[in-house]
Amino acid sequence: MLRRIKVEDLKEGMMFSEPLFFDDGKNRVLGKGHPVSQRELSVLKQWKVPFVMTAGKIIKKE
C-alpha cells in the first residue's frame, strides 16, 4: 500500500526502501535506494507537487 509523504518533509540525502512516485502513484520520481537530491527537491517544488508516494520506508535520513 502506498503512503503519502509531503514534499516539504523530504530532505536531501533521504533514501527509501522502495521507489518514490509522483502524487498520481504511477510515475516514478526516484528509484529504490537512490538518495533524494537537491535537483529532485527543486523540481517537485517548482512543479507544485504537494506529496510523493511510496510503499517503502526511510532507510537513510539526512
pLDDT of residue 53: 98
Predicted TM-score (pTM) of this structure? 0.87
pLDDT in tens, 7-54: 999 999 999 999 999 999 999 999 999 999 999 999 999 999 999 999
Q: Containing domain of residue 30, as a range?
A: 3-60
**Cell numbers representing residue 27 in the block:** 510515475
CATH number of the CATH domain containing 26: 3.90.105
Sign, CA dihedral 43-46-49-50, equals positive
Please give the pLDDT value at position 24. Answer: 94
Contacts of 41 (CB under 8 A, 6+ apart): 7, 10, 12
Q: 60 pLDDT band (50/70/90 cuts)?
A: confident
Domain count, the chain: 1
Provide the 3-class DSSP secondary structure of residue 9: helix
